[in-house]
Amino acid sequence: MLALKQEELFNEIDLLPIDMKTKIVDKILASITPLNSSIDALWIKEVNKRKNDIEIDSVSLVDGNEVFKKISQKLNS
C-alpha cells in the first residue's frame, strides 16, 4: 500500500511546474541537511563581498566557457 501512495506522489510531482518542484527539493534538502548557521553566515558574507567587488569593478570577470577551455587545454597537454 505504501508503494502505491509513493507512486501516486511521484506522479503528482511530475505534473508540477518547475518552480514548485524546486521548492520541494529545497524543503527535502533542508530536512536532511543539518543547519550550520555559522558556515551559512560566512558564505553570505563572501557572496556579498564578491557582489560588491563586481559592482565596483575591482575584479575582472572571465567567461566560464573560456575558463573551461583553458582547463581542458592544460589537462590535455
Indicate if the alpha-carbon torsion angle 68, 72, 75, 77 is positive or negative. Answer: negative
Q: What is the pLDDT of residues 24-76, one digit of tens each?
A: 999 998 888 777 788 888 999 999 999 999 999 999 999 999 999 999 999 99
pTM over 0.85: no
pLDDT the model gives residue 38: 86
d(CA 51, CA 61): 11
Q: Show me where the domains of the chain are located.
A: 1-33, 36-77
- Give me the phi and psi of 36, to 5 degrees please: -135, 90
